[in-house]
Structure 1
Amino acid sequence: MARLKPPAIIVLGSGATATARRIAACYPDARVHGLRGRVQAGSGATAADVLFDELGAHLRELYASGTPIVALCAAGIVIRCVASLLANKGAEPPVLAVAEDGSAVAPLLGGLAGVNVMAREIAAALDVPPAITTSGELRFGTCVLNPPEGYALASLAQGKRFVSDLLAGESTRIEGDAHWLDDAQLPRSADAQRAIRITPHAWDGNIDELVIHPRSVVVALTDGEDAAQRIRDALAAQALSPLALAAIVAPAARMGDEAFEQAARALNAPLRFADVADVTDGTNSANGTNAAAVMDVKDSHAAPASLSSRALLTAALDPDSEIADSASGVALAVAAGPVDVNTIGRARGRLTVIGLGPGSADLMVPAARAALDQATDILGYATYVEMAGPFRADQQVHPTDNREEMQRARRAFELASGGRRVVMVSSGDPGVFAMASAVLEALDASDAPEWADVELEIVPGVSAAMATAAQAGAPLGHDFCMLSLSDNLKPWSIIETRIAHAAQADLVMAFYNPVSRARPWQLDKALDIVREFRAPETVVVLGRDIGRPGASLVTMTLGELKSADVDMRTMVIIGSSTTREFVRRSAHGAPREWVYTPRWYR
């Protein structure tokens, strides 16, 4: 069974939060997700860590991301919500329904991902029996088709047939180390026709065998040209299964080579890099215990030779090595059991710059949440880092002051160049007056080759201007500009010039950083410039803390606007000459005010 993400525990009302917290205690990094309007945000016994607006969309997003779901509601509700996604049984995460009072625990989906294991764990915490209905689990006490992390089932279809035969009365023997089955109540017989085989060698189609592959094969090669096919050919020549592949090792000098990246993706295998000097002098962390004993399988007819992980990594960097396959340029080695890839070379580091959006979790783009989930290290201004949490115990958090952007960016590259998966956190969109520019400036100014090897990605977010505009309607519906009134990084004279040009051009303007205690006069000065070109009745939108608790939205005119109406957490949107405001009242509802800028221009 692969290592699962922490589960999302779903509650639809505050009456279920006590049970949810009892379940969350079983999983240190689990988070309670509550329906907005029925559950309050917070970390207390009656609050939720994350709020969502619509159950079906939220469950489908969690399911699609592979997040285990524990829903404290009727099983039928959960099934209907995710029914459209039930296409691949082998890829579904665990999904369970639990009674709000904790009186029933029903595993629904994810039998091959450990849902019944979770059901037993949760049921034990709630002191109730789990409602397990899987025949194999009930008969044998475990899911035979759900091997532990580091192992892969050769064929799910054959596995189902095999388990059906055992349920029908056939017996089995075990060939190889299947320690996780030691306590299983399997019908065993030393001379049984059917066998559970633990082997890196490919399944030959024998219907009497259930084959499980330990991820124990490591391949090493010097160049990435057609690497995926060359690796497949080398594995096939030794009758080894691609499912047994534990890692691909390449020279550190080729880090960032897209050909190696493509091969790793095609074979669904981790990609690791090593320097020949590190390998030969023993300074590299690759020389770990899990990779210390490997066998040469280049010639299957020869007696296996004992090799060290150091020798294997040397082969990755030296095509003339005695264990390299001269025909394919691929070196193969097999360990006695699953290989911990963290003991081989190092991974390519990754730095992802994300925006949290305006503040609410439902306005964070999924790619940003995925980056946070995968991160080893999270950096950013302390307030934004706190908003991005909570974090797992194995994640390192590096909060800093708001004025330490360049130091923060350099630290991120230092961590990522060491093979870490680093996330740089901004609010809003990282490319709008935020950390994306600082990260690129740090890279531009550096000549460190290891920084250039870092996989750098910038994930867009919902900016404060966009979030405020969406609340008001569509004031940015035509040409607009965004201006920061902070003169910390540019002279005030430049700000004045840009405001004047934007106002004269009749652009809608979104003001970031409008006032602060250190510069309370600048907004008034900016408004004086704008009023030279805009009429007093020009529509203005003020959005404060949009997307966060206590958010407020106010519409007024330019003539009414005063600097006292604004603080540092306010987004100021000043309309163009065509921006308009109107009010509509539904038959039974309160009046609703809308602001928009037409797409046409007179």
Structure 2
Amino acid sequence: MTPPAIVILGAGALATARRVQALYAGAQVHGLQGRVEADVTYAELGAHLCELYARGTPIVALCAAGIVIRCVAPLLSNKGTEPPVLAVAEDGSAVVPLLGGLAGVNLMAREIAAALAVPPSITTSGELRFGTCVLNPPEGYALADLAQGKRFVSDLLAGESTRIEGEAPWLDNAQLPRSNSARLAIRVTPRAWDGRTDELVIHPRSVVAALTGSGSGSGAQIAGRVREALNTQGLATLSLAALLASSERMTDPALAEAAASLNVPLRFAQTRAGDGEPPGNPLHAALRIPYETLHDDADAGIALALAPLAIDPASVGRARGRLTVIGLGPGSADLMVPAARTALDQATDILGYDTYVKMAGPLHADQRVHGTDNREEMQRARHAFELASAGRSVVMVSSGDPGVFAMAAAVLEALDGAENAGWAAVELSIVPGVSAAMATAAQAGAPLGHDFCMLSLSDNLKPWTIIETRLRHAAEADLVMAFYNPISRARPWQLDKALDIVREYRAAATKVVLGRDVGRPGGTLRSTTLGELRSSDVDMRTMVIVGSSTTRGVARGDGQSGEWVYTPRWYE
């Protein structure tokens, strides 16, 4: 399940929110900006709840139920796709499931209520009568038709009894009215539903479709052949547990497209091919459970395997490994882009400099964390590829933006220097982040509003002579300059030397912005001038932005002290 967002309005709900958060790995507390310190902050409740709902994120809102209902009401349309939404009293005295009956909201309500030692306020008739939601089978099973399911439950509530055909152990303790001679039947079968109105059909995901040989085609064509094979055997598409292919085809985008169309995981198996022959049937290499081959069409390149019980896709072959390089932003959770948070939530392994990995939390208990020293970039990048090439979902963590003096370049350098087919097959993506320069500039105003450059003053990876040359060219070109790594105990002289060079080309009145730990607790921001700036004003955690000849300041309004610093987008 996607970790829920626990949304609060004020500090009075924080203690209860933390108790709920402890139940769900990866859950975060979302607090109203300016009112409460939380993992994530938001500016307006209605817009924030709508955004979470639209993304399919489960919502636990610690406020009145009516507030939540009015906020998300414009988005309500399809009961079958809505995420769980609950309202919880700030003091934990009430837990009310509102939406997501088919997504496990009542189960969440019971879990949260048990943790808070209160009874859940469940109002679903079937849930109250039978002790379970018949229309919400467990993972690995799928309801054939929601509309028919509603009619079926309505008949049970009206006094009908039912019998169960097939394996449904999750219903063993349900208080269903049962009779071996009942007109109604709950059927658990991979066979396609024939439309009978006296049946509730639940499909176990017990079929694996394997792509045999090296047949090509678009994703839509492959998915069409799989559906045709299932239809020929009388099997429901919803009974499909996974799409399987030879690992030699791991980078074929058509396979990913087909799996997405079929809404199943894509898995791979290592198959052996004879001399001059295409790879063999991957079913033999991937399935370690008893199965029956129902369909093996060499022309279509599709083979179907049917197991007696639902199949865990994770047990079939392995996934294509994934390596995602993310930027955390400057440090505040609300400045991390959503795609980075999603990558962290889905990762099996998280790598990075220890300090940054800690900033990435909260993490799941079952995630492997590989924290290292900040100077071990290439070793860290190679380790990430080794993990990903074994089929794991890996996240490489950087602060700021991963492509700005950070790990994205090291990852690509490791790939560039490797002759490893497994590494080349890894699904690599880079998620941008808010860089320190951008975060500092935003707080200051718009000092980067015109042409600018970013320079690292560290000579650990390049000679100081190159830094001097670039400083002179940037200063002469009248570019705004953002200095990373401006000073350290090991090189206390370099910032002064850099400023001396810049002062040859810039007036003493040139605007300078200093942002220290911007986006983190205790962060500070101030503006000064090039003439007043001293190296003692700066440390390694300070972003230094030196303006151009056109950069100027304007007094802040609304009673704020200081000035906004900006660089116009034009020259006189």
What is the CA distance between 1:224 and its match in structure 2? 4.3
Deviates more, 1:545-554 or 1:271-280: 271-280
Deviates more, 1:99-108 or 1:434-443: 99-108
Q: Is the 8 A contact 1:350 1:455 kept in 2?
A: yes
Q: Is the 8 A contact 2:271 2:285 kept in 1?
A: no
1:384-403 correspondence runs (5 A) = 384-403=356-375
Q: Does 1:126 align with 2:123?
A: no
What is the CA distance between 1:53 and its match in structure 2? 4.1
Pick closer, same or farther for the CA change 1:110–1:435 going to 2, 3 Å.
same
Q: Aligned partner of 2:236: which letter? A: S
Deviates more, 1:474-483 or 1:215-224: 215-224
C-alpha separation between the residues in 2 aligned to 1:65 and 1:521? 50
Partner of 2:276: none
For residues 115-157 of structure 1, give each alpha carbon's deviation from its aligned partner in whole angstroms, at most 9, with x where no partner exists.
Answer: 1111122222222221111111112111111000000111112
1:100-139 correspondence runs (5 A) = 100-139=90-129
Partner of 1:318: none
What is the CA distance between 1:99 and its match in structure 2? 0.9
Among candidates 9, 15, 20, match of residue 18 of structure 1: 15
Q: Aligned partner of 2:538: which letter? A: V
- Given the two structures, how large is their TM-score scaled by the length of structure 2? 0.94
Partner of 2:209: 219
Q: Aligned partner of 1:264: which letter? A: A
Deviates more, 1:182-191 or 1:151-160: 182-191
C-alpha separation between the residues in 1 aligned to 2:451 and 2:113? 58
Among candidates 267, 270, 273, match of residue 262 of structure 2: 267
Q: Aligned partner of 2:252: which letter? A: D
Among candidates 565, 584, 596, match of residue 537 of structure 2: 565
What is the CA distance between 1:600 and its match in structure 2? 1.2
Partner of 1:521: 493
What is the CA distance between 1:49 and its match in structure 2? 4.2
Partner of 2:431: 459
Q: Is the 8 A contact 1:224 1:260 kept in 2?
A: no
Partner of 2:417: 445
Q: Aligned partner of 1:271: which letter? A: L
Partner of 2:452: 480
Q: Aligned partner of 1:129: which letter? A: P
Identity, % of aligned positions: 74
Q: Does 1:506 align with 2:478?
A: yes
Q: Is the 8 A contact 2:192 2:236 kept in 1?
A: yes
Q: Aligned partner of 2:190: which letter? A: P
Partner of 1:247: 242
C-alpha separation between the residues in 2 aligned to 1:263 and 1:150? 20
Q: Aligned partner of 1:116: which letter? A: N
Pick closer, same or farther for the CA change 1:224–1:167 going to 2, 3 Å.
farther
Among candidates 220, 223, 232, match of residue 237 of structure 1: 232
For residues 46-71 of structure 1, give each alpha carbon's deviation from its aligned partner in whole angstroms, at most 9, with x where no partner exists.
Answer: xx444444433433343333332222
C-alpha separation between the residues in 2 aligned to 1:584 and 1:387? 32
Deviates more, 1:30-39 or 1:234-243: 30-39
Give the RMSD, CA atoms, in angstroms: 2.1
Deviates more, 1:269-278 or 1:174-183: 269-278
Q: Is the 8 A contact 2:39 2:333 kept in 1?
A: no
C-alpha separation between the residues in 2 aligned to 1:545 and 1:88? 45
Q: Does 1:67 align with 2:64?
A: no
Partner of 1:379: 351
Partner of 1:363: 335
What is the CA distance between 1:354 and its match in structure 2? 0.4
Partner of 2:403: 431
Among candidates 456, 459, 469, match of residue 497 of structure 1: 469
C-alpha separation between the residues in 1 aligned to 2:117 and 2:355? 40
Q: Aligned partner of 1:39: which letter? A: V
What is the CA distance between 1:188 and its match in structure 2? 2.1
Among candidates 542, 552, 555, match of residue 580 of structure 1: 552
Q: Is the 8 A contact 2:444 2:525 kept in 1?
A: yes
C-alpha separation between the residues in 2 aligned to 1:55 and 1:410? 43
Q: Does 1:590 align with 2:531?
A: no
Deviates more, 1:113-122 or 1:364-373: 113-122
Partner of 2:3: 6
Partner of 2:145: 155
Q: Aligned partner of 2:228: which letter? A: D
Pick closer, same or farther for the CA change 1:113–1:329 going to 2, 3 Å.
same
For residues 294-317 of structure 1, give each alpha carbon's deviation from its aligned partner in whole angstroms, at most 9, with x where no partner exists.
Answer: 12223xxxxxxxxxxxxxxxxxxx
Q: Does 1:339 align with 2:323?
A: no
Q: Is the 8 A contact 1:585 1:592 kept in 2?
A: no
C-alpha separation between the residues in 2 aligned to 1:516 and 1:285? 55
1:37-116 correspondence runs (5 A) = 37-40=34-37, 48-116=38-106
Among candidates 290, 294, 299, match of residue 293 of structure 1: 290
C-alpha separation between the residues in 2 aligned to 1:285 and 1:22? 45
What is the CA distance between 1:413 and its match in structure 2? 0.2
Deviates more, 1:29-38 or 1:164-173: 29-38
Q: Aligned partner of 1:17: which letter? A: L
What is the CA distance between 1:8 and its match in structure 2? 2.7
Q: Is the 8 A contact 1:145 1:156 kept in 2?
A: yes
Partner of 1:601: 571
- Given the two structures, how large is their TM-score scaled by the length of structure 1? 0.90
C-alpha separation between the residues in 1 aligned to 2:569 and 2:28? 43
C-alpha separation between the residues in 2 aligned to 1:577 and 1:584? 21
Structure 2 residue matching 1:436: 3-state secondary structure: helix
C-alpha separation between the residues in 2 aligned to 1:71 and 1:565? 44
Pick closer, same or farther for the CA change 1:237–1:287 going to 2, 3 Å.
closer
C-alpha separation between the residues in 2 aligned to 1:5 and 1:353? 21
C-alpha separation between the residues in 2 aligned to 1:584 and 1:394? 48
C-alpha separation between the residues in 2 aligned to 1:496 and 1:87? 61
Q: Aligned partner of 1:13: which letter? A: G
Q: Is the 8 A contact 1:482 1:512 kept in 2?
A: yes
What is the CA distance between 1:554 and its match in structure 2? 0.5
Among candidates 114, 118, 133, match of residue 143 of structure 1: 133
Q: Is the 8 A contact 2:269 2:285 kept in 1?
A: no
C-alpha separation between the residues in 1 aligned to 2:413 and 2:26? 35
C-alpha separation between the residues in 1 aligned to 2:332 and 2:49? 17
For residues 463-505 of structure 1, give each alpha carbon's deviation from its aligned partner in whole angstroms, at most 9, with x where no partner exists.
Answer: 1111111111111111111111111111100010001001101
C-alpha separation between the residues in 2 aligned to 1:580 and 1:183? 73
Structure 2 residue matching 1:297: 3-state secondary structure: strand
Pick closer, same or farther for the CA change 1:179–1:224 going to 2, 3 Å.
farther
Q: Aligned partner of 2:224: which letter? A: Q
Deviates more, 1:576-585 or 1:349-358: 576-585
Q: Is the 8 A contact 2:26 2:345 kept in 1?
A: no
What is the CA distance between 1:333 and its match in structure 2? 1.0
Matched residue count: 562
Partner of 1:305: none
Partner of 1:304: none
Q: Is the 8 A contact 2:347 2:393 kept in 1?
A: yes
Deviates more, 1:29-38 or 1:431-440: 29-38
Q: Is the 8 A contact 2:60 2:88 kept in 1?
A: yes
Pick closer, same or farther for the CA change 1:263–1:540 going to 2, 3 Å.
same
Q: Aligned partner of 1:221: which letter? A: L
Q: Aligned partner of 2:249: which letter? A: R
